[in-house]
Amino acid sequence: MSAPERRVAVVTDSTAYLPGELIDRYRLTVVPLQVVIAGRSRAEGVDVSSNEVAAALREWRPVTTSRPAPQTFADTYRRLDVPEVVSVHLSADLSGTVDAARLAARQVAADGVHVVVVDSRSLGMGLGFTSRAAARAALEGATAEEAAQVARRYAVDVGIWLYVDTLEYLRRGGRVGAAAAMVGSALSVKPLLNLADGRLEPVERVRTSSRALARLEELAVHGADGRAVDVAVQHLAAAERAQEVAERLRRRVPELRSLYLGEVGAVVGAHVGPGMLGVVVAPAQE
Protein backbone atom coordinates (compact mmCIF):
# COMPACT_ATOMS: atom_id res chain seq x y z
CA MET A 1 0.00 0.00 0.00
CA SER A 2 1.43 3.41 -0.94
CA ALA A 3 1.92 6.13 1.68
CA PRO A 4 -0.86 8.76 1.85
CA GLU A 5 -0.21 11.94 -0.11
CA ARG A 6 1.26 14.69 2.04
CA ARG A 7 -1.04 17.70 2.25
CA VAL A 8 0.74 19.84 4.88
CA ALA A 9 4.45 20.68 4.86
CA VAL A 10 6.35 22.43 7.64
CA VAL A 11 9.06 24.99 6.97
CA THR A 12 11.44 26.54 9.48
CA ASP A 13 14.60 28.60 9.23
CA SER A 14 18.26 27.84 9.79
CA THR A 15 18.34 29.32 13.31
CA ALA A 16 16.41 26.26 14.56
CA TYR A 17 19.72 24.32 14.54
CA LEU A 18 17.95 20.98 14.48
CA PRO A 19 20.05 17.84 14.11
CA GLY A 20 19.81 16.36 10.63
CA GLU A 21 18.15 13.23 11.94
CA LEU A 22 15.19 15.25 13.26
CA ILE A 23 14.90 17.27 10.04
CA ASP A 24 14.69 14.04 8.07
CA ARG A 25 12.40 12.18 10.47
CA TYR A 26 9.83 14.99 10.61
CA ARG A 27 10.21 16.00 6.94
CA LEU A 28 11.06 19.60 7.76
CA THR A 29 12.26 22.10 5.17
CA VAL A 30 14.89 24.63 6.32
CA VAL A 31 15.36 28.07 4.74
CA PRO A 32 18.75 29.69 5.50
CA LEU A 33 19.29 33.17 6.86
CA GLN A 34 22.22 35.22 5.59
CA VAL A 35 25.45 36.14 7.35
CA VAL A 36 27.55 39.04 6.09
CA ILE A 37 31.24 38.96 7.03
CA ALA A 38 33.32 41.93 5.91
CA GLY A 39 30.78 42.72 3.19
CA ARG A 40 30.36 39.20 1.81
CA SER A 41 26.93 37.59 2.22
CA ARG A 42 26.71 33.83 2.74
CA ALA A 43 23.91 31.39 3.58
CA GLU A 44 23.88 29.96 7.09
CA GLY A 45 24.42 26.23 7.18
CA VAL A 46 25.43 26.21 3.51
CA ASP A 47 28.61 28.21 2.99
CA VAL A 48 29.51 29.79 6.34
CA SER A 49 30.32 28.09 9.64
CA SER A 50 30.05 29.15 13.26
CA ASN A 51 33.84 28.82 13.51
CA GLU A 52 34.28 31.45 10.80
CA VAL A 53 31.92 33.79 12.62
CA ALA A 54 33.67 33.26 15.97
CA ALA A 55 37.04 34.02 14.34
CA ALA A 56 35.68 37.17 12.67
CA LEU A 57 34.22 38.43 15.95
CA ARG A 58 37.48 37.85 17.81
CA GLU A 59 39.28 39.83 15.11
CA TRP A 60 36.65 42.61 15.30
CA ARG A 61 35.77 42.20 11.64
CA PRO A 62 32.22 43.41 10.88
CA VAL A 63 29.59 40.65 11.05
CA THR A 64 25.91 41.24 10.36
CA THR A 65 22.92 39.04 9.57
CA SER A 66 19.85 39.35 7.40
CA ARG A 67 16.57 37.57 6.85
CA PRO A 68 15.81 35.43 3.80
CA ALA A 69 14.24 37.36 0.93
CA PRO A 70 10.45 36.96 0.63
CA GLN A 71 11.01 35.49 -2.83
CA THR A 72 13.16 32.73 -1.30
CA PHE A 73 10.25 31.73 0.91
CA ALA A 74 7.76 31.96 -1.96
CA ASP A 75 9.94 29.72 -4.14
CA THR A 76 10.26 27.25 -1.26
CA TYR A 77 6.51 27.10 -0.65
CA ARG A 78 5.80 26.50 -4.33
CA ARG A 79 8.51 23.86 -4.64
CA LEU A 80 6.99 21.79 -1.83
CA ASP A 81 3.98 21.13 -4.09
CA VAL A 82 1.44 20.82 -1.27
CA PRO A 83 -1.80 22.76 -0.71
CA GLU A 84 -0.92 23.84 2.85
CA VAL A 85 2.26 24.97 4.60
CA VAL A 86 3.10 25.86 8.20
CA SER A 87 6.09 28.21 8.35
CA VAL A 88 7.62 28.46 11.85
CA HIS A 89 10.34 31.03 12.54
CA LEU A 90 12.46 32.78 15.12
CA SER A 91 11.04 35.61 17.16
CA ALA A 92 9.91 38.67 15.23
CA ASP A 93 11.56 40.80 17.93
CA LEU A 94 14.95 39.37 16.92
CA SER A 95 14.63 39.18 13.13
CA GLY A 96 12.50 40.19 10.17
CA THR A 97 12.25 36.56 9.04
CA VAL A 98 8.59 36.25 10.07
CA ASP A 99 7.71 39.37 8.07
CA ALA A 100 9.45 37.94 4.98
CA ALA A 101 7.52 34.67 5.37
CA ARG A 102 4.22 36.57 5.64
CA LEU A 103 4.94 38.55 2.48
CA ALA A 104 5.69 35.29 0.68
CA ALA A 105 2.51 33.70 2.02
CA ARG A 106 0.48 36.45 0.37
CA GLN A 107 2.33 35.89 -2.90
CA VAL A 108 1.62 32.18 -3.11
CA ALA A 109 -2.01 32.46 -1.98
CA ALA A 110 -2.84 33.36 -5.59
CA ASP A 111 -1.39 29.98 -6.60
CA GLY A 112 -3.73 28.13 -4.26
CA VAL A 113 -1.10 27.49 -1.55
CA HIS A 114 -2.34 28.27 1.97
CA VAL A 115 0.54 29.24 4.26
CA VAL A 116 0.17 29.78 8.01
CA VAL A 117 3.13 31.66 9.49
CA VAL A 118 4.01 31.14 13.15
CA ASP A 119 6.16 33.51 15.18
CA SER A 120 7.68 31.04 17.65
CA ARG A 121 8.82 33.85 19.98
CA SER A 122 11.93 31.70 20.28
CA LEU A 123 15.27 30.86 18.66
CA GLY A 124 17.84 28.09 18.51
CA MET A 125 16.55 24.72 19.61
CA GLY A 126 13.59 26.48 21.20
CA LEU A 127 12.51 27.18 17.63
CA GLY A 128 13.69 23.70 16.65
CA PHE A 129 11.54 21.92 19.21
CA THR A 130 8.54 24.11 18.31
CA SER A 131 8.97 23.36 14.60
CA ARG A 132 9.16 19.66 15.42
CA ALA A 133 5.86 19.91 17.31
CA ALA A 134 4.18 21.42 14.24
CA ALA A 135 5.73 18.83 11.93
CA ARG A 136 4.67 15.96 14.14
CA ALA A 137 1.08 17.24 14.16
CA ALA A 138 1.14 17.57 10.37
CA LEU A 139 2.41 14.02 9.94
CA GLU A 140 -0.40 12.82 12.17
CA GLY A 141 -2.99 14.41 9.88
CA ALA A 142 -3.48 17.92 11.26
CA THR A 143 -4.40 20.76 8.92
CA ALA A 144 -2.03 23.71 8.62
CA GLU A 145 -4.17 25.77 10.99
CA GLU A 146 -4.26 22.93 13.52
CA ALA A 147 -0.53 22.29 13.32
CA ALA A 148 0.15 26.01 13.74
CA GLN A 149 -1.99 26.06 16.87
CA VAL A 150 -0.02 23.10 18.23
CA ALA A 151 3.20 25.05 17.65
CA ARG A 152 1.91 28.21 19.31
CA ARG A 153 0.71 26.34 22.41
CA TYR A 154 3.93 24.37 22.62
CA ALA A 155 6.17 27.44 22.32
CA VAL A 156 4.66 28.97 25.46
CA ASP A 157 6.15 26.17 27.57
CA VAL A 158 9.69 26.39 26.16
CA GLY A 159 12.32 27.95 28.45
CA ILE A 160 15.62 29.38 27.21
CA TRP A 161 18.52 30.68 29.31
CA LEU A 162 21.85 31.96 28.00
CA TYR A 163 25.26 32.67 29.46
CA VAL A 164 27.43 35.11 27.50
CA ASP A 165 30.96 36.29 28.18
CA THR A 166 29.92 39.85 27.30
CA LEU A 167 26.77 41.70 26.26
CA GLU A 168 28.76 43.73 23.72
CA TYR A 169 27.85 41.58 20.70
CA LEU A 170 24.16 41.67 21.58
CA ARG A 171 24.34 45.43 22.12
CA ARG A 172 25.88 45.95 18.68
CA GLY A 173 23.03 44.04 17.08
CA GLY A 174 20.40 45.94 19.07
CA ARG A 175 19.30 42.83 20.98
CA VAL A 176 19.89 44.38 24.45
CA GLY A 177 20.07 47.97 25.60
CA ALA A 178 23.34 49.91 25.64
CA ALA A 179 22.95 50.61 29.37
CA ALA A 180 22.76 46.89 30.19
CA ALA A 181 25.90 46.21 28.15
CA MET A 182 27.75 49.12 29.76
CA VAL A 183 26.94 47.95 33.28
CA GLY A 184 28.11 44.43 32.48
CA SER A 185 31.41 45.66 31.07
CA ALA A 186 32.05 48.13 33.87
CA LEU A 187 31.64 45.55 36.60
CA SER A 188 33.42 42.74 34.70
CA VAL A 189 30.50 40.44 35.40
CA LYS A 190 29.17 37.46 33.47
CA PRO A 191 25.60 38.04 32.28
CA LEU A 192 22.79 35.50 32.27
CA LEU A 193 19.84 36.12 29.97
CA ASN A 194 16.36 34.73 29.53
CA LEU A 195 14.35 34.69 26.33
CA ALA A 196 10.99 35.97 27.56
CA ASP A 197 8.13 36.51 25.10
CA GLY A 198 10.53 36.69 22.20
CA ARG A 199 12.98 39.17 23.76
CA LEU A 200 16.37 38.60 25.33
CA GLU A 201 16.48 40.12 28.80
CA PRO A 202 19.39 40.13 31.29
CA VAL A 203 18.20 38.38 34.44
CA GLU A 204 21.34 38.13 36.55
CA ARG A 205 24.99 39.17 36.55
CA VAL A 206 27.45 36.87 38.25
CA ARG A 207 31.08 37.64 39.08
CA THR A 208 32.76 34.58 37.57
CA SER A 209 32.06 32.26 34.66
CA SER A 210 32.03 29.18 36.94
CA ARG A 211 29.35 30.71 39.15
CA ALA A 212 27.40 31.87 36.11
CA LEU A 213 27.37 28.36 34.63
CA ALA A 214 26.31 26.87 37.97
CA ARG A 215 23.46 29.37 38.11
CA LEU A 216 22.54 28.54 34.49
CA GLU A 217 22.15 24.91 35.52
CA GLU A 218 19.94 25.90 38.45
CA LEU A 219 17.67 27.92 36.18
CA ALA A 220 17.35 25.00 33.77
CA VAL A 221 16.59 22.48 36.54
CA HIS A 222 14.01 24.83 38.01
CA GLY A 223 12.52 25.33 34.54
CA ALA A 224 12.12 21.58 34.10
CA ASP A 225 10.15 21.53 37.36
CA GLY A 226 9.88 17.73 37.47
CA ARG A 227 8.16 17.53 34.07
CA ALA A 228 9.09 15.16 31.26
CA VAL A 229 11.31 17.37 29.14
CA ASP A 230 13.64 17.49 26.17
CA VAL A 231 16.77 19.57 26.73
CA ALA A 232 19.26 21.15 24.36
CA VAL A 233 22.63 22.56 25.39
CA GLN A 234 24.05 24.87 22.73
CA HIS A 235 27.25 26.89 22.57
CA LEU A 236 29.59 28.93 20.41
CA ALA A 237 33.27 27.97 20.65
CA ALA A 238 32.74 26.51 24.13
CA ALA A 239 32.43 22.77 23.47
CA GLU A 240 34.12 21.59 26.67
CA ARG A 241 31.99 23.74 28.96
CA ALA A 242 28.85 22.73 27.07
CA GLN A 243 29.70 19.05 27.50
CA GLU A 244 30.18 19.53 31.25
CA VAL A 245 26.86 21.34 31.63
CA ALA A 246 25.08 18.69 29.56
CA GLU A 247 26.44 15.88 31.73
CA ARG A 248 25.38 17.61 34.93
CA LEU A 249 21.89 18.28 33.58
CA ARG A 250 21.63 14.63 32.55
CA ARG A 251 22.11 13.72 36.20
CA ARG A 252 20.02 16.49 37.71
CA VAL A 253 16.85 16.51 35.57
CA PRO A 254 14.92 13.40 36.68
CA GLU A 255 12.42 13.28 33.79
CA LEU A 256 14.87 14.05 31.01
CA ARG A 257 13.76 12.20 27.87
CA SER A 258 16.18 13.54 25.24
CA LEU A 259 19.29 15.70 25.42
CA TYR A 260 20.81 17.41 22.38
CA LEU A 261 24.28 18.95 22.49
CA GLY A 262 25.62 21.13 19.71
CA GLU A 263 27.02 24.41 18.48
CA VAL A 264 24.80 27.27 17.37
CA GLY A 265 25.12 28.38 13.79
CA ALA A 266 26.55 31.52 12.29
CA VAL A 267 23.49 33.78 12.70
CA VAL A 268 22.96 33.39 16.44
CA GLY A 269 26.72 33.17 16.92
CA ALA A 270 27.14 36.58 15.31
CA HIS A 271 24.97 38.16 18.01
CA VAL A 272 26.01 36.29 21.15
CA GLY A 273 29.76 36.00 20.58
CA PRO A 274 32.31 33.30 21.39
CA GLY A 275 31.89 31.61 24.76
CA MET A 276 28.09 31.67 24.74
CA LEU A 277 26.35 28.71 26.33
CA GLY A 278 22.59 28.24 26.31
CA VAL A 279 20.10 25.73 27.67
CA VAL A 280 16.67 25.05 26.18
CA VAL A 281 14.07 23.15 28.22
CA ALA A 282 10.94 22.02 26.38
CA PRO A 283 8.06 19.60 26.92
CA ALA A 284 9.08 16.09 25.86
CA GLN A 285 7.74 14.93 22.51
CA GLU A 286 9.12 11.39 22.34
pLDDT, one tens digit per residue, over 169-192 is 666 555 555 445 544 454 457 788
Q: Do residues 181 and 279 share a domain? A: yes
Domain annotation covers residue 1: no
Residue after which a domain boundary falls, among 156, 185, 214? 156
Confidence of residue 117 (pLDDT cuts 50, 70, 90): very high
Domain annotation covers residue 270: yes
Residue after which a domain boundary falls, among 94, 121, 156? 156
Overall average pLDDT of the 250-270 stretch: 92
C-alpha closest to that of 130 among 139, 141, 120, 144: 120
Residue after which a domain boundary falls, among 119, 139, 156? 156
- Statement: residue 272 has pLDDT above 90: no
Overall average pLDDT of the 262-278 stretch: 86
Comparison of pLDDT for 275 and 138, the residue scoring more: 138
Yes or no: say if 176 and 200 are a contact pair by the CB < 8 Å rule.
yes
Of 28-32, 46-50, 117-121, 242-246, the poorest mean pLDDT is in: 46-50
Q: Do residues 15 and 143 share a domain? A: yes
Q: Do residues 143 and 246 share a domain? A: no
Of 48-62, 182-196, 246-260, 261-275, the poorest mean pLDDT is in: 182-196
Task: Answer yes or no: pTM beyond 0.75.
Answer: yes
Q: Calculate what percentage of the chain has a pLDDT beyond 90.
A: 63
Yes or no: say if 232 and 274 are a contact pair by the CB < 8 Å rule.
no
- Statement: residue 45 has pLDDT above 60: yes
pLDDT at 188: 56
pLDDT at 182: 45
| Average pLDDT score, the chain | 88
- Statement: residue 285 has pLDDT above 80: yes
C-alpha closest to that of 257 among 217, 222, 227, 223: 227
Domain annotation covers residue 41: no
The CATH number given to whatever domain includes residue 115 is 3.40.50.10170
Yes or no: say if 8 and 144 are a contact pair by the CB < 8 Å rule.
yes
The CATH number given to whatever domain includes residue 260 is 3.30.1180.10
Instruction: Give the Cα separation of 66 and 46 in Å (integer).
Output: 15
Q: Do residues 118 and 233 share a domain? A: no
The pLDDT tens digits for 129-175 are: 999 999 999 999 999 999 999 999 999 999 999 998 766 666 655 55
Range of the domain at 204: 159-283
Comparison of pLDDT for 14 and 266, the residue scoring more: 14
pLDDT at 166: 67
Overall average pLDDT of the 269-281 stretch: 88
Q: Do residues 203 and 277 share a domain? A: yes
Confidence of residue 234 (pLDDT cuts 50, 70, 90): very high
Q: Do residues 28 and 125 share a domain? A: yes
Cβ atoms < 10 Å from Cβ of 185: 14
**Total domain count for the chain?**
2
Q: Do residues 211 and 152 share a domain? A: no
Domain annotation covers residue 260: yes
